[in-house]
Amino acid sequence: MKVRFWGVRGSIPTPPTGTIIREKLTRALRLATPGDISSDEAIERYIDSLPHSVKGTYGGNTTCLEVRTEDGEILIIDCGTGIKNLGAELMKTEFGKGTGIGTILMTHTHWDHVQGIPFFVPFYIKGNRFNIYSPFKDIKARVEYQQVFSHFPVNLDYMFATKEFFILEKEAAFYHNNIKIINKRMHHPGGAFGYRIEENGKAFVFTSDCEFNIDEIDRIESYKEFFWGADVCVFDTQYTFEEAIDKVDWGHSSASIAIDIALKFNVKKLILFHHEPDYSDEKLELVLSNAKTYMSMNAKHRGSLEIDIAREGAILNI
C-alpha cells in the first residue's frame, strides 16, 4: 500500500497568509550565512537543511487521504478540501478521460470531511465511476443535501460521473478485491468511524475525529482488533493533553492518548493528524517534539514506536 496525505487539518482550512510567509522568509534569512547563498546549489542545500516549519508548511487543507493498493486501485478517505488537489492530479490519468474507477470511504459528514466534494473535478467527468462506502444509512441523502441549490449552485446530479452509495455493516469487515476493510465506531459528536485496511499482511489504520475519554478508556479492549499490530496508524491528535481536559466531548484526542493506545496495541508507526487550525507550523513541530519526549519517558517501550506528524504531500509506503 501507498498512502498520500492531501489534507491534514481539522475543523476549517488554514491557508498561509502573507504575514506567515514573510515571517518564514525572515527566519530563513536570519539563519543564513554568506556561504549559504553563494550559488544556486548552495541555496538549495541551505533550504534543504532548514526545519520544515521554516522551509514549508504542514498544510492547510482539511481531511483527505489517498490509498493506493498494490494492484493500483485507488481508495480515498474523506472529502475535505484536500480532495480538490487530489482531483487535479487524478485528471492527468484515466479519470481525465472518463475511464477512472475509485472507491471513497467516508468517516462522517462534518463540514471539514465533505466540503471538498463540489470541487472534485473527476466527479464532473462522465464515464468515471466512484463507489462510496459508509456505515451511515443515510449517507447518500447527506451528500446530496450538501449540494441543494441553497448551499451550492451545482446539484450532485449535474456531476456526471457515476456515484454509487453502499451502506456498510457497522463494526464489520468487508472485502474489496484483494484488500480487507474493517470499520470501527469512534466516540465523536454526531458519530464517526475509523477504517482499518489490510493487504498482503500489512495493516493501515485511520482514526480521525475520535475522543478517548474516561468512558472509552474503560472500553479500550473493544478496540484491540481494530488497532492491533498496525504497521501505520493515523490518529486524531488535534488537542494537547491540557486542551483535551478542557474540551471534554468536543470529539478529539491528544498525542499522549494516541501514544498510550499505540503502545498498548503494538502499533509500529503513529502519525499525528487532524491538526488544530490555530496551530502554526512551529507549534506543530513542538507537538511532535513533545510527543517524542513523552514516548522517551516510557522506559519499558522506549524505541518500540516510531512517531511522526502528517503533512500535505507526504507519502508512506506500507
Q: What is the model's pLDDT at position 252? A: 80
> Where are the chain's structural domains?
2-14+60-317
| pLDDT-based confidence at residue 247 (cuts at 50, 70, 90) | low
Cell of 279: 496551530
Tell me the three cell numbers of residue 3: 498512502
Q: Does domain 2-14+60-317 have CATH number 3.60.15.10?
A: yes
For residue range 257-313, what is the model confidence (pLDDT) as tens digits?
999 999 999 999 999 999 999 999 999 999 999 999 998 887 566 668 999 999 999
Q: What is the pLDDT of residues 201-246, one digit of tens each?
A: 999 999 999 988 777 788 899 999 999 999 999 999 987 766 756 6
What pLDDT does residue 303 have? 64
Q: Are strands 269-273 and 162-167 parallel, antiparallel or unpaired?
A: unpaired
The pLDDT score that the predictor gives to residue 239 is 79
Instruction: List own/partner pairs for 178-186 with CB under 8 A and 24 or more apart.
Output: 178/69, 178/70, 178/71, 179/69, 179/75, 181/105, 181/133, 182/225, 182/226, 183/135, 184/223, 184/226, 185/135, 186/107, 186/210, 186/211
- Backbone φ and ψ of 291, nearest 5°: -65, -40
Helix axes 255-264, 281-296, angle to 10 degrees: 40
Q: Residues 8-17: what's their mean pLDDT?
A: 96
pLDDT of residue 212: 87
The pTM of this model reads 0.94
**What confidence score (pLDDT) does residue 56 get?**
95
Range in 141-150, 157-166, 236-245 the model is least confident about: 236-245
Taking only the tens place, the pLDDT of each residue in 52-108 is: 999 999 999 999 999 999 999 999 999 999 999 999 999 999 999 999 999 999 999
Find the mean pLDDT for residues 142-153.
93
